[in-house]
Amino acid sequence: MPAEDLHMTRRCQREIGKRVAVDGNLINVRAIHGVIYLTGRARLQRGATNVSLEDEMHIIAQNIKRIPGVRDVVVEVSY
């Protein structure tokens, strides 16, 4: 994996970690030439109430798109 893809992967993982309502442990992040792939399973953190998981994933995708060098974000996460 090229160094810039590894760097982008880690930045995206940090963006997922910033959303306290989402348990990102089962979300796989992969960067390939500026395209970010989010796969796996998303779930809410224990105790999170009145939160839409789909809305949270949309916010995460929008935040990742703002990272310099990211060309696109593909979200293939099951809920």
Say yes or no to pLDDT of 22 above 90. Answer: yes
Q: Percent of the chain, pLDDT > 90?
A: 90
Strand partners, 72: 35
Number of structural domains (the chain) is 1
pLDDT in tens, 38-50: 999 999 999 888 9
CATH code of residue 24: 3.30.70.2210
Domain holding 54, by residue range, is 3-78
DSSP states of 56-69: HHHHHHHHHHTSTT
pLDDT for the residue 79: 87
Residues with Cβ within 8 Å of 60's Cβ and at least 6 positions away in sequence, in order, are 15, 16, 19, 22, 38
